[in-house]
Amino acid sequence: MGSDDVGFGLVGLGMAGRTHAREIAHLEGGRVAAVYGRNREKAEAFAERFQIPKAYDDYELFLADPDVDVVDVLTPHGVHLDYAVPAADAGKHVIVEKPLELDLDRARQIIDACDRNGVTLGVIYQMRFGRWEQRLKQAVDAGELGRLLLVDAIEKAYREPAYYANDPWRGTREMEGAGCLMTQSIHIIDLIQWIAGPVASVNARVQTARHAIEAPDMAIARLTYASGAWGVLQSSTAIYPALRSRVEVHGEHGSVIVNPEYDQVCFWDVRDTPEGRIDTPEGFAFGDIADPNGFPEERHRVVLADILRAIREGGQPTVSGVEALKSLAIVLAIDESSRRGEEVEVPDVLDRSAVI
């Protein structure tokens, strides 16, 4: 490693922490300099496992470490602000695993702190960086599908009861907010609003259908896009067995279905495009795994490299804090629509929070 490598400090020792420790190790020009955890013994064990030179259980000392250039917040959702704002105030660049926070006011406080201190803020939405997802975005932007008619997102996942029992913050309104929408499906929500958005309004229902938790484990929403296209979102961690997620885009000139978790095209038939017709390609499968530790994580490396580029060169990463507000607002609008039993305008949800 070069002496000018950017030093990452990881905050959080769970699944996200493990993923980022593995993927930052592959970054050219980046290294993990330190890790912070509230339990010193666990932090030291984590550091030893991933060959990280320093472990802290004191957050002020962690922030004072000159080798930490970037603080990577990998904690439960509801405390992202608690770690991100002090990091920005300490002059550190900030990375936050999705979602940016559980409500727009807290999310905007993170953005404001980074702007105020002149540091970079990047948010992890790795599904935008898949080959097929980027090709689909390009096709939509170029008008290859013509006017969009329907844009759907389907995530029928399953999580074992132990997934919630072993991490008591999961499934709570305080730490996970809108449950399956906030933790699992916000990825595909980000993807559809990026490809076909903005989303203008939602009419939705959420419920806790299967697990002994507070937060919803099932949701369905009718989406209306600003373009006039319609769509349906299905989100769940209650469906057994787990099925692979799909984003389906239907325009006047053709249809595309991708599985963003595995960066796989499941169907492509769009007039006058070089792909021709792709239908049930080799390796296609409906079934999926239930263990979130088994999903591909290589695109984390790509999004982390994009944020590292922004830190080195200036400018904004692809998924900035402001960009991350868009999917968060849609999730909050879906949750609100279910509570109120009526359609909710997504821009109204954004406008009700403080202006940046």
Note whether residue 303 is domain-resident.
yes
Gap between the Cα atoms of 248 and 130, Å rounded: 15
Total count of domains within the chain: 2
Taking residues 301-323, what's their average pLDDT? 97
Domain-located, residue 216: yes
Q: For residue 354, is pLDDT > 60?
A: no
pLDDT of residue 281: 84
Residue 184 and residue 156: Cα distance in Å, rounded?
10
CATH classification at residue 80: 3.40.50.720
Q: What is the residue type of 91?
A: G
Q: Is 82 among the domain residues?
A: yes
Question: Which tens digits make up the pLDDT trace of 257-297?
Answer: 999 999 999 999 999 999 999 998 888 899 999 999 999 99
Q: How many CB atoms lie within 10 A of CB 26?
A: 12
Provide the pLDDT for residue 355. 45
Q: Give yes or no: residues 149 and 237 share one domain.
A: yes
Quick one: pLDDT at residue 44? 98
What pLDDT, on a 0 to 100 scale, did the predictor assign at position 284?
86
Residues 78 and 173 in one domain: no
Look up the CATH number of the domain holding residue 273. Answer: 3.30.360.10
d(CA 275, CA 289) in angstroms, rounded, equals 29
Q: Would the pLDDT of 356 be above 70?
A: no
Q: What is the mean pLDDT of residues 73-82?
A: 98
Model pTM score: 0.97
User: Span 199-211, mean pLDDT?
Assistant: 98
Residue 95 is assigned to a structural domain of this protein = yes
Same domain as 282, residue 135:
yes
Q: What is the pLDDT of residues 328-344, one digit of tens each?
A: 999 999 999 999 999 99
Q: Is the residue at 350 inside a domain?
A: no
Q: Is residue 276 part of a domain?
A: yes
Res 305: pLDDT: 98
Q: What is the span of the domain harbouring residue 161?
A: 129-291+327-340
User: Does 74 map to a domain?
Assistant: yes
Whether residue 102 is found in the same domain as residue 146: no
The predicted pLDDT at position 91 comes to: 98
Same domain, 75 and 150: no
Closest CA relative to residue 155, chosen from 217, 102, 112, 199: 217
> Are 277 and 310 within one domain?
no
Answer yes or no: do 152 and 121 share one domain.
Answer: no
Confidence of residue 1 (pLDDT cuts 50, 70, 90): very low
With a pLDDT cut of 70, the percent of the chain lying above it is 98
Other C-beta atoms lying within 10 Å of the C-beta of residue 291: 12
Residue 2, pLDDT above cutoff 60:
no
Q: Are residues 71 and 30 in the same domain?
A: yes
137 burial type by CB count under 10 A (0-12 exposed, 13-18 middle, 19+ buried): middle
**Residue-wise pLDDT tens digits, 134-148:** 999 999 999 999 999
Does some domain include residue 260?
yes
Both 77 and 185 in one domain: the answer is no
- 65 and 151 assigned to the same domain: no
pLDDT value for 19: 98
Clarify whether residues 35 and 164 are in a common domain.
no
Is 3 a residue whose pLDDT tops 80? no
Assess whether 152 and 89 both reside in one domain: no
